[in-house]
Structure 1
Amino acid sequence: MIIHGARPSPFVRKVIVFAAEKGISIEVRPAGFGRGDPAFMQASPFGKMPALEDGDFLISDSTAIITYMDALHPEPNLIPTEPKARARTIWYEEFGDTIAQAAGAQLFFNRVVGKALKMPHDPALADTAEAEKMPPLYDYLESVLPDSGWLVEDRFTLADIAAACPLINVCYCSKGLTGERWPKVVAWLEKIRARPSFADAMTQEAAILAKMAA
């Protein structure tokens, strides 16, 4: 399987981590921002990351790709089958993909991506998001995280992967998340970063981020 996209993207990272947790071997090829192999544009006609190429099967969108991977490799189970737990997992994926990403992207784009790619960007928008949009999201997660430290079924699931990915990008360029105010969220992210799947993905991202910051 080939994943087309930029490694620091939360959506690309989500797929990379999911594949690693499933034991699925993938190749990651750079794509996005108008660049990429022809297969990328075939799989993702609107240029959204990530895209999947598996033989002659092409598709885009992280949720669609994860659904495909999960159907091919049901174990280990990362999407609970118990109805309420499954619904909660899908909700947390939506939370990560839309709510957290919408706020987090304002920080990451305006402080990292826009600057690095010399695209129009506004650091003031990042400052506003950091001060006004991120704290309510941290408050929410602090209120729902169980004592186990995992969002659903007291175990690591897609819920944790999806909710954490945009926050990791925020933490690359913000020190707003503090253990004094949000101890459960900080501990949760520390556990997530320590997992081999996340640790490897973030190590691979480091060189890209360093070039972007240069």
Structure 2
Amino acid sequence: MQLSITQMILHAGPVGQMVMVLLLFFSIFSWTIIFMKGRLFRNVRLDSEDFLEAFWSSKTLSEASKAADEFTFSPEAAVFKAGFNELKKINSIRNRGDEAAKETLEMQLATMDNLKRALRKAETEQLNRLGHLLPFLATTGSATPFIGLFGTVWGIMVSFHDIGQRGSASLAVVAPGISEALVATAAGLAAAIPAVIFYNFYGNKLSRVHDSMLNFSTDLLNLVERDLLSRV
């Protein structure tokens, strides 16, 4: 009698069914992450394009800050807001008292270190936000084939045990148990293959976002430094 995949799973032993449930969990959670990240990176791309256009068309940093509030998915906008807030703190400290007017160029440029640290911290936070849950795809891609293989090996062991109990090694006796056991390997590969593909896919997207943030941070630092030099 020809068995369907569902019937094979239902006829499997408790260990085999437990393996299939575990693989099903990995698969469902992986596809959930895949769809979530797909939507997230799409929003990131759209918001980043709009923010960069608004930033370069802004006449002042304050105007750019107002534009950054509108693009919540853009990592460049988040990096800019962190840098802008740090600049405001630096300026507020600078403007206290009359000694601010005596600042030398070296003292002004030294304040850039605080800005650089603020930008680097914001970049790290954005990378962590965008890369959240991606390691689970890597875990799925590396672990589920072995989980499926364990289910297959266990099912084959049970099949050989049944052969010994029945005292017959005919194909009719062996084939159903072996086929049920091999379903676990197929399920493990079915969970692993898309997880590996999309982990690499989103990993590349994350690298491009990181490069874009680094380029934007460099441009922002150059703008601020030129502004400082113009005041001397």
- TM-score normalised over the length of structure 1: 0.28
Larger relative contact order (CA 8 Å, sep ≥ 6): 2
Rg larger in structure: 2
Higher strand share: 1
- TM-score normalised over the length of structure 2: 0.27
